[in-house]
Amino acid sequence: MSDSEYHARAHAVLAAVEARVDELLQSDVVDIDTSRTGGLLELTLPNRSKIVINTQPPLHEIWLAARRGGYHYKYVEGRWLDTRSGRDFFEMLSECVSEQAGCPVSFTAPAA
């Protein structure tokens, strides 16, 4: 993947997460605050715990840090997959946010 393709795909992930958080706020499902600085997106949950999503351009990865641990994702065959377990980024993000928010929350990949 070229650098420009990586940046476009990584930006789409961050934008999709931000859009979903906006939907959750509008639907009054859960109050999640977001803060974005460049390629770093921080989610602050109601209990003040945080989840951090960070792009890693030199590695062409996206990193996810949550209470349960840290994960590195590479884009493989149309999906962001964990470099260790092979699990999908959006599945893990959904689990981490649900766990830390105390209610079920789901995130999905942006349309290709």
Instruction: Identify the pLDDT of residue 92.
Output: 97
The whole-number pLDDT of residue 112 equals 65
In a domain, residue 75? The reply is: yes
Is the per-residue pLDDT at 25 higher than 90?
A: no
Main-chain phi, psi angles of 97, to 5 degrees:
-65, -45
pLDDT of residue 29: 79
Q: Residue 40: is its pLDDT beyond 70?
A: yes
Q: Please report, rounded to a whole number, the percentage of residues in the chain having pLDDT higher than 70.
A: 99
Residue 38 lies in a domain: yes
* Position 86 in a domain: yes
Q: Is residue 46 part of a domain?
A: yes
Say how many domains are in the chain.
Answer: 1
Does the residue 105 lie in any domain? no
Q: What angle do CA 36, 40, 42 make, to 5 degrees?
A: 60
- The pTM score is 0.93
Judge whether 112 lies within some domain: no
Beta bridge partners, 40, equal 37, 54
CATH of the domain at 83: 3.30.920.10
Residue 56 lies in a domain: yes
Q: Phi and psi of 16, rounded to 5°?
A: -65, -40
Q: Which domain holds residue 86?
A: 3-100
HEC letters along the chain: CCHHHHHHHHHHHHHHHHHHHHHHHHCCCCCCEEEEECCEEEEECCCCCEEEEEEEHHHCEEEEEECCEEEEEEEECCEEEECCCCCEHHHHHHHHHHHHHCCCCCCCCCCC
How do residues 67-106 score in pLDDT, each as one tens digit? 999 999 999 999 999 999 999 999 999 999 999 999 999 9
pLDDT at 26: 86
